[in-house]
Amino acid sequence: MAQIRVATFDGPGADPVIRQVPWPKVLGKAALIQIGACGVWGTDLHILKGHWPKPLPWPFTLGHEMAGVIVEIGPDLKTDWMDKPITVGSKIMIPPFMPCGECYYCKHYPEHSNRCQTPVYYGRYLGFDKPPHLWGGWAEYVYVDLDMLPGTKVYKLPDTMPLRLGALSEPITSTIRGFARAQRMGGFKWGDTVVIQGSGPIGILAIASAREMGAGRVLCIGAPETPRLELARKFGADATVNIEEYRTPEARIQRVREIVGGYGADLVMDCTGHPTAGPEGIEFLRDSGFYIEMGQFTDAGAIETNWHRFVAKDITIMGSWAFTENDLALGVQMLDQARAKYPWFDMQAIYPFNDDGVKSAVADAMAMRTVKSTIVPFPELLEA
Ligand SMILES: [Zn+2]
């Protein structure tokens, strides 16, 4: 019987261990998906540093920015979450966080179903011990089963979309939801000047989203110049500010305000993960501007700040945590429509699926040598 290889971590700071599990039976509403590409996410890194604020089911398999191909499907699973027909050979992405549809938030606040109380959570809350042990993307295959976990959601990718492009649909969706919420609140209008704090993967994807959603000028603050700020400009940033060159908040505020001119930026989005970004970022804004805080996704600590500045500037600050199940289709669509407009693959550094590959993918992302470390278990699927 064929065996499937899957990477697991025993706890923060541990090295990956690749384990073998038996090929599962695929019945009813289940499917087995061969993974084409799976990204290393900023929060995976925070989890491995021990920053995740809740207990986790160690050992488990990380990785949830995944795209793959259905290789086996049960007779009762016929469509994806958007009611598109799926079958063996369909290209699929599955998100990490799948709201249940039944709890208080899912029922009464569907626009905030990301606060679901009983979600299905791939790559994080499904422990390796749970059979058939295929609950994360740093593996050869991932298993879904809507009989066992009815909240599970899969999304069909366009047949012509490369899997490694599909693996970006999950991270880009967070940025789309953030901007869309700001638009609905009147905080982001066509032609607005947008500042993105952070030049990691989310920062880079946020530049493209801002462009696609109508930004006028886009600035990006981050480091290092190579590969990150260079890439930010290729993705449409009109200007970048290097935090290694402008080393204090005061220097950066002055530099951004010089570039933006006038009264300041209309909208700032934090994609940094550094707690000090907020008080600095609101000073890039014109008075009455809009601040989207989505960089503090894990708990990287508290800072001292003065809330008087929020009030005195008469600004709106919005916390935005990932996305809902209905936002994800927008991520897939944006990548599809804008496929030729941005150098998406330039973001990705490809790693093989073995002990060294997984370890290096994580280490290189932590050291910011890569923008988006991406694990590709089957080289033949790289071009698929
Ligand atoms: Zn729920």
* CA torsion angle 67 116 273 41 (round to 10): -20
Pairing of strands 141-145, 97-98: unpaired
Output phi, psi for 242, to 5 deg: -90, 120
How many Å lie between the centroid of ligand 1 and the Cα of residue 335?
Answer: 28
SS3 357: helix
**Taking ligand 1, which is a single-atom ion, which protein residues have CB atoms under 5 Å away?**
99-100, 103, 106, 116
For tokens 């599909």, the residue is 166
**C-alpha–C-alpha distance, residues 169 and 273, integer Å:** 20
Cα 50 to ligand 1 centre (Å): 26
**Residue appearing with tokens 């000090």:** 276
CA Rg value for the chain: 20
Contact 270, 174 (CB under 8 A): no
Distance of alpha carbon 232 from the chain centroid:
17
pTM for the model stands at 0.94
How much distance in Å is there from the Cα of 89 to the middle of ligand 1?
A: 30
Q: Is residue 207 within 8 Å of residue 232, measured between CB atoms? A: yes
Distance 272 CA to ligand 1 centre (A): 28
The secondary structure element, H or E, covering residue 292 is strand 285-293
Q: H/E/C letters for each residue in 19-65? A: EEEECCCCCCCEEEEEEEEEECCHHHHHHHCCCCCCCCCCCECCCCE
Cα(183) to centroid(ligand 1), Å? 25
What's the rounded Cα separation, in Å, for the pair 173 and 171? 5
From the CA of 116, how far away is ligand 1's center (Å)?
Answer: 4
Measured over the CA atoms of residue 334, residue 337, residue 339 and residue 343, the dihedral's sign is negative
What is the whole-number distance in angstroms between the Cα of residue 26 and the centre of ligand 1? Answer: 26
Distance CA 356, CA 379 (A): 16
Tens of pLDDT, residue by residue, the chain (384 residues)? 689 999 999 999 899 999 999 999 999 999 999 999 999 987 788 888 888 888 999 999 999 899 999 999 999 999 999 999 999 999 999 998 999 999 999 999 999 999 999 999 998 899 999 999 999 999 999 999 999 999 999 999 999 999 999 999 999 999 999 999 999 999 999 999 999 999 999 999 999 999 999 999 999 999 999 999 999 999 999 999 999 999 999 999 999 999 999 999 999 999 998 999 999 999 999 999 999 999 888 888 899 999 999 999 999 999 999 999 999 999 999 999 999 999 999 999 999 999 999 999 999 998 888 999 999 999 999 888
What is d(CA 247, CA 150) in angstroms, rounded to the nearest whole number? 49
Task: Give me the residues paired with residue 349 across strands.
Answer: 373
- Whole-number Å distance, alpha carbon 136 to ligand 1 midpoint, is 21
**CA dist 283 → 127, 251, 267 (Å):** 43, 12, 11
